[in-house]
């Protein structure tokens, strides 16, 4: 019986002799050598290096986009709370108040009755701002944003901009100057916050309440306030 690994075949047409055993022997590849079915170790290392480099370049941009979305989301929620306070004042024909309070390391904004305040309880509409937010005084000094003006907040240039007192809404839904159980006139308010981004740095943001009761959020871009 012929051994298949030593069997030879003559090809009369081409004048060549084939060793049938060669076709059955597995080929041997050394580490690092390329073949038609894959990549060499060097090629894979080059690709991995390119991917790592691109990731390092794009990560700061990704972090910045995420921080901006988080910042705007918190301010939009705060604007919604102010609008809720205004709606409550109109529906109940009463004076509502928006007040800020720090509790447990978090900054809370809540709505209660302006004439008969209850304070921060589980029964009042409230919002816990993300821990990255800190309520601060109006900016002043070098290296900080310029303060918003009354005009920025929808008031005329001769109006004052209150950044200290709580915001009160009268029974007709207008922000007012509260005193001894009653509201008089209209008033513009502005509050400032610092946002500590996880990627580093501090961002400034603000919310305005116009004399007509319109809420506007502002963001400092390093040179000017933008919406």
Supply the CATH number for residue 158's domain. 3.55.40.10
Domain-embedded: residue 5: no
Q: Determine the structural domain holding residue 193 and report its residue range.
A: 42-226
Q: How many residues does the chain have?
A: 227
What is the total count of domains within the chain?
Answer: 1
Asked whether 89 and 167 are in contact (CB, 8 A), the reply is no
22: enclosing H helix or E strand: helix 20-24
1 belongs to a structural domain:
no
User: Token digits for 71?
Assistant: 């910042």
Q: Which of 59-73, 81-95, 148-162 shows the lowest per-residue confidence on average (mean pLDDT)?
A: 59-73
Q: How far apart are CA 225 and CA 151, in angstroms?
A: 13
Q: Tell me: the pLDDT tens digits for 184-216?
A: 999 999 999 999 988 778 999 999 999 999 999
pLDDT digits (tens, 9 = 90+) for 10-27: 545 455 555 555 555 555
Flag whether pLDDT at 39 surpasses 90.
Answer: no
Report the distance separating Cα 186 and Cα 220, nearest Å.
27
Residue 73 structure tokens: 């989301």
Q: Is there a domain that residue 64 lies in?
A: yes
CA angle at residue 205 from 130 to 187, to 5 degrees?
Answer: 110
What's the mean pLDDT in 21-48? 65
Question: Is 6 inside a domain boundary?
Answer: no
Is 14 a member of any domain? Answer: no
Long-range contacts of residues 123-127, Cβ cutoff 8 Å, at least 24 apart? 125/81, 125/84, 125/85, 125/88, 126/81, 127/77, 127/78, 127/81
Q: Tell me if 8 is assigned to some domain.
A: no
207 within a domain of the structure (yes/no): yes
66: its two tokens: 């995420």
Judge whether 31 and 44 are in contact, CB under 8 Å.
no
- Domain assignment of residue 177, yes or no: yes
């Amino acid at each position: 019986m012929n051994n298949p690994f030593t069997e030879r075949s003559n090809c009369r047409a081409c004048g060549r002799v084939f060793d049938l055993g060669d076709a059955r022997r597995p080929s041997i590849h050394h580490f690092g050598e390329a073949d038609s079915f894959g990549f060499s170790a060097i090629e894979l290392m080059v690709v991995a290096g390119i991917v790592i480099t691109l990731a390092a370049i794009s990560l700061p941009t990704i972090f910045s986009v995420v921080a901006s979305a988080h910042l705007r989301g918190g301010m939009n929620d705060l604007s919604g709370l102010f609008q809720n306070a205004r709606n409550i004042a109109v529906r109940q024909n009463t004076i509502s108040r928006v007040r800020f309070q720090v509790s447990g390391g978090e900054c809370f904004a809540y709505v209660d009755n302006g004439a008969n305040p209850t304070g921060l309880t589980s029964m009042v509409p409230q919002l816990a701002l993300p821990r990255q937010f800190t309520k601060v005084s109006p900016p002043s000094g070098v290296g900080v944003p310029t303060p918003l003006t009354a005009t920025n907040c929808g008031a005329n240039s001769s109006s004052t901009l209150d950044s200290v007192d709580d915001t009160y809404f009268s029974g007709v839904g207008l922000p007012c100057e509260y005193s001894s159980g009653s509201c008089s006139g209209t008033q513009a308010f502005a509050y400032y916050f610092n946002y500590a981004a996880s990627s580093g740095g501090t961002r400034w943001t603000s919310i305005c309440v116009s004399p007509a009761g319109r809420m506007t959020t502002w963001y400092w871009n390093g040179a000017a306030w933008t919406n």
